[in-house]
Amino acid sequence: MIAAYGGGRVLAGSVDAVARPLPARVIPLRPERINTLLGLELPAAEIVGILERCGFTAVDGGVRVPSYRTDVHGEADLAEEVARFYGYDRIPAVLPPGAPAEEGRPPADRLLAQVRDVMVGAGFHEVFTFSFAPADLGRRLRLGPDHPQHRPVRLANPMGEEQAALRTTLLGGVLEVLRYNARRRVESAALFELGTVYLPRPDDPAGALPDERQHLLAAGMGRFPGRHWQGQAAAFDVFYLKGTLMRLARRLGVDLDLRPAPLPFLHPGRSAEVVLAGRVVGCLGELHPDLAEEWDLPERVSLFEVDVSALLEADRQPVRFQAPPRFPAVLRDVAFIVPEDIPAARAEQVIRAHAGPWLEELELFDVYQGDPVPAGKRSLAYALAYRAADRTLTDAEVDEVHARVRQALERELGAVLR
């Protein structure tokens, strides 16, 4: 019918109408390479047998690919065919070789990651502010005359007066963020920033590049968000900031001390310097009420700022695993009255110096001023836990050490035991 009515022509035999003939493809086969890719140790004969059952033809040095397998192009495809037929569940699981990536991170990056972990775990939110600051920020914050903010690195072509110099402290930027939130009726906020400050070099000539340091600033106002059925939520006060700073010091393996110091931008009597190995590396306290009013902030804003670069440069103690104790602890308390100008940290130093190696824990659990404690004095009460690693301590042994602690408090601090 095609020939009679459609104009077709009948040909003898069969005709294969294709655009071009498909050439035979041969892929080199290296059994050792197949085993390397799959993590197996299959004999060469078994690999060839698997491929033949999948339609491939073994030739000298390789295999011929069936014409219908247009998806197979190289040795990796042959390895996939072997794995599919052999069974993925029969391939053993092996960890990739090489050291963990953490080892390759610079020490500074690992330190900053630990700092962020501690701050986020304490309930703070990270913020990022501009690296520029007003040239008169030192005057506005009432920073001391020796503070580098009074001689910042100025920009040659600033965008405005509020960004005329490189910052030497993170305080100005974070206070701006707090003010922005306070004006929008955000009553509680806890923020921190890890950023670079640019300190002028006092011994270098004019125009020298500044000393770039990593600083950490944390500031809080109000309380933790939400209410608690047991009472009010914890406040972001100076004591909470101090606890966060000490938790950070323990995490980093450094020993920080606090030394009372009158700082002009902090509340009188609620300010301290942060000291590391005799060197001042930061400050802690409550924002001065006059400054809080000028910045449209609540009356009580607590903060600390520390030089993280100094913590990185310090000799830090590595954190080591300590097995759970095998023997029970012996508990003792000591309460005494001292002049109110003696810091609790000083009393703690005396106790630790005379309690010996058996002292495991020391906790200040009570501070009291008022009747019947004389004016100008206060009562401090500590809980001590003594424990030996190799045996159970007797009451007589602990009483002897505890008596030595009590005598040292009387002798060195003039304490009156209660």
Q: How far apart are the first and last CA of the chain?
A: 124
Average pLDDT for 300-320: 87
Q: What is the mean pLDDT of the chain?
A: 88
Contact 302, 236 (CB under 8 A): yes
Quote the percentage of the chain above a pLDDT of 90.
56
If pLDDT is split at 50, 70 and 90, which confidence band does 320 have? confident
Residue 229 vs residues 141, 226, 240: alpha-carbon distances, Å: 39, 10, 20
Structural domains of the chain, ranges and CATH numbers in brackets: 20-90 (3.30.56.10), 108-313 (3.30.930.10), 330-417 (3.30.70.380)
Please return the burial class of 32, using the count of CB atoms within 10 Å of its CB with bins 0-12, 13-18 and 19+. Answer: exposed
> What's the pLDDT score for residue 135?
84
Strand partners, 175: none
The pLDDT tens digits of the residues spanning 338-379 come to 999 898 888 999 999 999 999 999 999 999 999 899 999 999
> What's the pLDDT score for residue 163?
83
The number of C-alpha atoms within 13 Å of 243 and in the hemisphere containing its C-beta is 11
> What's the pLDDT score for residue 61?
85
Evaluate if residue 303 carries a pLDDT over 60.
Answer: yes
Evaluate if residue 328 carries a pLDDT over 80.
Answer: yes
What CA–CA distance (Å, rounded) separates 86 from 91?
8
Contact 284, 245 (CB under 8 A): yes
The pLDDT tens digits of the residues spanning 154-205 come to 888 888 888 888 888 999 999 999 999 999 988 889 999 999 999 887 766 6
